[in-house]
């Protein structure tokens, strides 16, 4: 979790203010999709909601700093003026629950290498 928050801070850093907000959201989506694909197995819904909330807060903060306005302006742009939160990926519905007695993947040895 800490690594994910640090990476989100890097993506929405102050030095990237000259970039468009959509470009920041695209970079953030690349990271979040990879992070979600890795952690979707198991009990990770609470972690996904925390990271999603943190990402929305950072994007709203980025927008408010970019336009030199209040934090409320950033939230307004993110939630009200854009119908899909500027295209920020949603983590809801991506968790795969562990099933007792069944593997998470169809073939546990998908790459073909032998077990040691």
Which of residues 85 and 59 earns the better pLDDT score? Answer: 59
On average, the pLDDT of the chain sits at 82
> Would residue 89 be called left, alpha or beta, if left means φ above 0 and alpha means ψ between -120 and 50 degrees?
beta
Domain ranges of the chain: 2-87
Residue 5 CB: number of other CB atoms within 10 A? 14
pTM of the model: 0.74
**In this predicted model, what pLDDT tens digit does every residue of 5-56 receive, in sequence order?**
999 999 999 999 999 988 999 999 999 988 888 887 777 778 888 898 999 9
């Amino acid at each position: 979790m800490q690594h994910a928050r640090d990476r989100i801070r890097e993506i929405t850093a102050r030095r990237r203010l000259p970039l468009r907000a959509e470009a920041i959201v695209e970079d953030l989506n690349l990271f979040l999709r990879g992070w979600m694909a890795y952690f979707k197995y198991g009990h990770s819904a609470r972690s996904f909601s925390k990271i999603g909330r943190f990402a929305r807060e950072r994007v709203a903060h980025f927008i408010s700093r970019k336009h030199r306005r209040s934090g409320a302006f950033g939230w307004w742009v993110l939630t009200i003026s854009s119908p899909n939160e500027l295209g920020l990926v949603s983590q809801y519905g991506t968790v795969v629950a562990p099933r007792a007695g069944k593997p998470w993947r169809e073939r546990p040895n998908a790459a073909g290498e032998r077990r040691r």
